[in-house]
A and B are shown apart, each in its own frame.
Chain A
Amino acid sequence: MGKLPKWLLGVAAAVYLFLHAPLLVLVAFSFNDSKFSAGWEGFTLRWYERLLERDDLVHSLWVSVEVGVISTLISTLLGTMLALGIARHRFSGRTFLESLLYVPIVTPEIVVGISLLILFVFLKMTLGIGTIVIAHVAFNISFVTVVVRSRLEGMDRNLEEAALILGADEFTTFWKVTVPQLWPGILSGALLAFTMSFDDYVITSLVTGPGSSTLPIVVYSMVRKNVEPSINAISTIILVVTAALIWASDRLSQDKPLTPH
């Protein structure tokens, strides 16, 4: 790095500071013993204790986990199947299907949310956990497909061919050879899907119904009402959980596919 001009390093350092300092400050002040969170008054855990007293927050956490788990399972299954179909088969309409898959990635969340709201109201569906899950799966499938497909394309197909030559049928080859090699890609896609589901506010807020507020919806209303440093505390918890999920997903995607050396 020695050859780079000083001003360039300065700019880069400033950008990293800009990206990370606000979150570090947020975390630090979740332990601040002052209701008007701006000056440092000493260390406390009372804002975390305060969180446990809020039934709506605890309830919304369970809703988020429920929605996250169900939508992740469905989108991972469907996304993985899509990836296998696209990467392993020749068929007509392939280019069309690929562009179809990119539409959910570029469509603004607000557009996704209101168009689903129109559909659900038209079909007279009750807005609630069911509609939130449908919406989350709809935007997650494409992302899972992209992640799994890139893993598939980096995989060594010789192992599968060897299994077939040695007499395993296609089902056995798939479950005993393909899936174990693909597993890190599937897990990594699933973790990303869960993170996106767990974080989503915009789409969820449009298709949610009474009694099915997810965590981001309750946090949003806390931010709106500006209630005390409890927001810092819940933000810290969300940050720690997502950082852990992303770290795990990052490790899995760096993990090389099993290949003979």
Chain B
Amino acid sequence: MNPRLWWLRWSSRRPGARAWSLMGPGTAWIVAFFMVPLLFMLAYSFMPKGLYGGVESGFTFEHYVRLFDPLYIKIGVRTLVYSLGCTAICLVFGYPVAYVISRAGEWRNLLVFLVILPFWTSFLVRTFAMIFLMRDTGLINTVLLATGLRTEPLEMMNTPFAVMTGLVYGFLPFMVLPIYSSLEKLDPSLLEAAEVLGARPAARFVRVVLPLSMPGVVAGSLLVFIPALGSYLTSDLLGGAKEMMIGNLVQNQFMVANNWPFGSAASFTVMAMVLAAVFVSLRVRDEPAGEAR
């Protein structure tokens, strides 16, 4: 019998079989090389540290207890503050941009493309662009020195300013796009109705535009906050050892300090923070959406 025909007959009697023959390989890959490794990481975080890297069998909470050492608390708090700060700055600057794009008529596509472009541009190259501007011999300092505004270079590298600028520069497009897509869907007749009913521009914005764009604001904030929490390259290249974030702590424990279980515990903490952020934003998203109607 023709194998094609055999397959069609066989699978038509088993509705799940066809679906899973399509989805099986991809699902298997994600389970084997994404989920299983995460479980390994979780297991490692509860095991004693081995003598030559790796772990020994056993069960311990010591790595999680160690995370409460003031040194690591400081790194955790710094990570949270930078991520929240970065999200706030991106919101303050990203919202106006999204608003302008949504009202830009024929320029819309070009303006959206100009936001997407850096979003897909090499993160490493973009971080280097920040270094090129901010280092002591960089462009900003060259200009400052040449114009006599300063007599010695302004120290920007390895400061909170450098890391925050780098984070905002890296993640701003994630904020603009979702806000833009929720503003784009906004029905202009609602604004006309508000105007006819006597609402001033500020009131129209606060009471009509802003509530209706909340889903975009929540999505954008999440898309900025999550990668900021787990960021590694920005703080590594622009912040150095002084401005370590959790991502750098994790990398350091694996590649330098050789304490894999402690690194796993730190890594699992980032993952838990990310999942908490997703969970909170899903709750927030479901609430004000009802209120705005």
- Residues in A lying within 8 Å of B, measured CB to CB: 1, 3-4, 8-9, 11-12, 14-16, 18-20, 22-23, 25-26, 29, 36-39, 78-79, 81-82, 84-86, 88-92, 97, 100-101, 103-104, 106-112, 114-119, 121-122, 134-135, 137-139, 141-142, 145, 169-171, 192, 195, 199, 201-202, 206, 216, 219-220, 223-224, 226, 231-232, 235, 238-239, 242-243, 246, 250
| CA–CA, A38 and B131, complex, Å | 12
Q: In the complex, what's the smallest C-beta–C-beta distance from B87 to chain A, in angstroms?
A: 15
Quick one: given A8-B96, A91-B16, A118-B41, are A112 and B247 in contact (CB under 8 Å)? no
Select one of B27, B125, B142, B229 contacting A108, CB under 8 A.
B229
Tally of A-B Cβ pairs under 8 angstroms: 243
Could you tell me if A8 and B274 are in contact, using CB atoms closer than 8 angstroms?
no
Please, which residue of chain B has its CB at the minimum distance from the CB of A100?
B30
Please, which residue of chain A has its CB at the minimum distance from the CB of B141?
A38
Q: List 15 A-B contacts (CB under 8 A).
A: A12-B100, A14-B93, A15-B96, A16-B111, A19-B118, A23-B118, A26-B128, A103-B35, A111-B41, A111-B230, A114-B41, A115-B38, A170-B8, A171-B4, A206-B255
Over the window 107-145 of chain B, the binary record of Cβ atoms lying under 8 Å from chain A Cβ atoms (1 yes, 0 no) is 100010111111011111111111111010111011000
Main secondary structure of the interface of B (DSSP, over half): helix
Could you tell me if B121 and A81 are in contact, using CB atoms closer than 8 angstroms?
no
Could you tell me if A134 and B33 are in contact, using CB atoms closer than 8 angstroms?
yes
Could you tell me if A219 and B172 are in contact, using CB atoms closer than 8 angstroms?
no
Could you tell me if A23 and B226 are in contact, using CB atoms closer than 8 angstroms?
no
| CA–CA, A214 and B181, complex, Å | 36
Residues 29-49 of B contacting A (Cβ, < 8 Å): 29-31, 33-38, 40-41, 44
Quick one: given A1-B105, A171-B4, A195-B120, are A137 and B263 in contact (CB under 8 Å)? no
Could you tell me if B29 and A239 are in contact, using CB atoms closer than 8 angstroms?
no
